[in-house]
């Protein structure tokens, strides 16, 4: 059995309530080190360590690799957060309600923020990385983002693209926290 570990980056250095999906923000250095210290001793020998190319994830992956030098970091653009287009860098509260309504009405296919990514394109990108992990059958850690953790949760349920906004997984995805999925799934 192989395990996919998905760890979310530490809190970003930015104003609360900011839309920052593809925006390349730094994470809090102390929280990054704490998150690395929590997960590093738990990873099995030979774990493949992959990171989103965004700084907030690379910093955490590098901190883990500093604690576990036998686990070199591989950057993978497929693990980046969803691109919210013109919404990037704006306060969520400043985005007009009708823009949200348009997105939720065509949740899978609308390019968010006019020129951003659609949920379908985002899911396809994450599914390609997930399918590769399934084929490799190797313990792997992805240092990534909340949206990616949610996308993999859907993929593990056999959902390649949610039909509606209400199908998107909710709940808290704590900064520095992680989820694990086994392959083959536990009976």
Q: Give 36-73 pLDDT, tens digit per residue.
A: 999 999 999 999 999 999 999 999 999 999 999 999 99
Q: pLDDT (tens digit, 0 to 9) for every residue of the chain, 187 residues total?
A: 999 999 999 999 999 999 999 999 999 999 999 999 999 999 999 999 999 999 999 999 999 999 999 999 999 999 999 999 999 999 999 999 999 999 999 999 999 999 999 999 999 999 999 999 999 999 999 999 999 999 999 999 999 999 999 999 999 899 999 999 999 766 5
Domain definitions of the chain by residue range: 2-183
Domain 2-183 adopts which CATH fold?
Rossmann fold (3.40.50)
What does the alpha-carbon distance between residue 155 and residue 95 come to, in Å, rounded to a whole number?
29
Q: What is the pLDDT of residues 70-83, one digit of tens each?
A: 999 999 999 999 99
- C-alpha to C-alpha distances, 164 to 11, 36, 126, 140, nearest whole angstrom: 28, 35, 18, 30
């Amino acid at each position: 059995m192989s395990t996919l570990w998905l760890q979310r980056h530490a809190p970003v250095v930015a104003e609360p309530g900011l839309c920052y999906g593809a925006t390349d923000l730094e994470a809090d250095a102390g929280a990054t080190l704490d998150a690395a210290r929590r997960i590093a001793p738990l990873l099995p020998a030979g774990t493949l360590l992959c990171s989103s190319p965004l700084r907030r994830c690379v910093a955490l992956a590098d901190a883990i690799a500093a604690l576990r030098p036998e686990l070199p970091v591989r950057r993978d653009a497929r693990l980046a957060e969803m691109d919210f287009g013109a919404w990037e860098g704006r306060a969520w509260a400043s985005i007009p309600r009708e823009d949200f309504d348009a997105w939720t009405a065509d949740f899978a296919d609308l390019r968010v923020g006019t020129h951003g990514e659609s949920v379908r394109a985002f899911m396809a990108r994450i599914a390609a990385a997930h399918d590769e992990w399934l084929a490799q059958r190797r313990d792997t850690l992805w240092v990534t983002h909340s949206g990616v953790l949610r996308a993999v949760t859907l993929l593990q349920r056999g959902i390649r693209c949610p039909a509606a906004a209400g199908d998107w997984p909710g709940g808290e995805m704590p900064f520095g926290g992680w989820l694990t999925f086994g392959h083959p799934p536990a009976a």
